[in-house]
Amino acid sequence: MADTSSALTYSDIGSAPRELWPVVLETRGWKDYRLLDMGAGEKLERYGRFTIARPEPQAMGTRSLPDSTWSRADAVFTGDTDEEGPGRWKFAGNVPETWPMAYGPVRYNGRFMSFRHVGVFPEQAAHWDWVNAKIRAERQKAPDKPLKILNLFGYTGMASLLPATEGAQVTHVDASKKAIGYARENQAMSGLEDLPVRWICEDASKFVAREVRRGNTYDGIILDPPKYGRGPKGEVWDIYTSLPGMLSDLQKLLAKDALFMILTAYAIRSSFVSIHELMAETLSTQGGLLESGELVIREDKGKRALSTSLFSRWSSR
């Protein structure tokens, strides 16, 4: 992970945040995840005990491992290489629908989902660790202060459950009832049912607008939107047209002494500079630090890094 802590002077609230870019945040994998190889528009990964091959347009180089290694993959996704395109899984042998994995105190199920997903985005580990470190530091200073975190487009819940293990009160919002069901399964697998997590199935834009009207605020906001999507009642999300208005509302939801806000963007024809400038405009009086760049995964036992997504994140201190 990039070290951005040295020689930084944080701005006071009411002034523009200090800006730092480009920043590359790197994940090298953990016990239950490794990027084994990449090239020729595909990536080979290990999730728990299974090896998985999937399309990856960013993998433009040459494969390092022999074809015989790739051919032994337990699951291969074939079909459209677009992030939201159709396709299907092919399995070698008897592969279960789900299988257990863990990251720190959180256990979760891997699962072969549509659009080539497997239930977790490993590059987000850089943000998970950063958020939990922010929460730990704040709780050391003010042990009795309740910390409220909002996780929008929360998917299967890793970015909700991990902050909750540090004592944060988390509101998890996703438009998919099925995804929330998977997140609650992960909570139960981890033995964390008593943690203060609110699971809300709703269109994210509508939820945020209502929270603004109610005058609610949060100490941290995590925002991981898709490129396109639909809410439970057919509401349309388009990151290019919907994101600016949502960010404007989210700025109003930041508590006076808020800790952070994170935006991640996948599979869009844009640059991290675009979302950096949008965040800078939104948070023009928040002070603190705004850093933007790319999330990457480092290849196991290799020198190459795979770029997965763009990010922009703000912290007050």
23, 42: one domain: no
Residues ≥6 apart with Cβ < 8 Å to 278: 243, 244, 247, 312
> Is residue 179 located within the same domain as residue 106?
no
- Residue 46's pLDDT is what? 98
143 and 57 within one domain:
no
If phi > 0 it is left, if psi is from -120 to 50 it is alpha, else beta; for residue 115 that is left
Inside any domain, residue 286: yes
- Strand boundaries in the chain, DSSP class E: 18-27, 33-39, 42-47, 50-55, 75-79, 87-91, 98-103, 106-111, 148-152, 169-174, 197-201, 220-223, 228-230, 236-238, 260-265, 289-298, 305-315
pLDDT in tens, 21-75: 999 999 999 999 999 999 999 999 999 999 999 999 999 999 999 999 999 999 9
On whether residue 158 sits in a domain, the answer given is yes
Extract the residue ranges of the chain whose pLDDT is less than 70: 1-13, 80-86, 268
| pLDDT attached to residue 4 | 39
* Dihedral pair phi/psi, residue 231, rounded to 5°: -80, 175
Distance CA 203, CA 165 (A): 26
Tens digit of each residue's pLDDT (9 = 90 or more) over 161-185: 999 999 999 999 999 999 999 999 9
pLDDT at residue 91, as a whole number: 95
Same domain (yes/no): 130, 83: no
What is the model's pLDDT at position 233? 86
Q: List CB contacts of 50: < 8 A, sequence separation 6 or more.
A: 74, 75, 95, 99, 110
Pairing between strand 220-223 and 197-201? unpaired
Q: Which CATH number belongs to the domain containing residue 244 in this structure?
A: 3.40.50.150
Q: Helices 158-165 and 125-141 sit at what angle, rounded to 10 degrees?
A: 30
Number of domains in the chain: 2
Determine the pLDDT at residue 230: 86
97 and 242 fall within a common domain = no
State the CATH number of the domain containing residue 96. Answer: 2.60.40.1180
Per the confidence metrics, is the pTM higher than 0.85?
Answer: yes
Parent domain of 210: 18-29+121-315
Q: Are residues 133 and 282 in the same domain?
A: yes
**What are the φ/ψ torsions at residue 140 (nearest 5 degrees)?**
-65, -35
Q: Evaluate whether residue 5 is within a structural domain.
A: no
Tell me whether residue 8 is in a domain.
no
In terms of C-beta density within 10 A (0-12 exposed, 13-18 middle, 19 or more buried), how is residue 14 classed? exposed
Are the beta carbons of 264 and 224 closer than 8 angstroms? yes
Location of structure tokens 């709780």 = 139
Domain boundary pick from 111, 138, 173 = 111
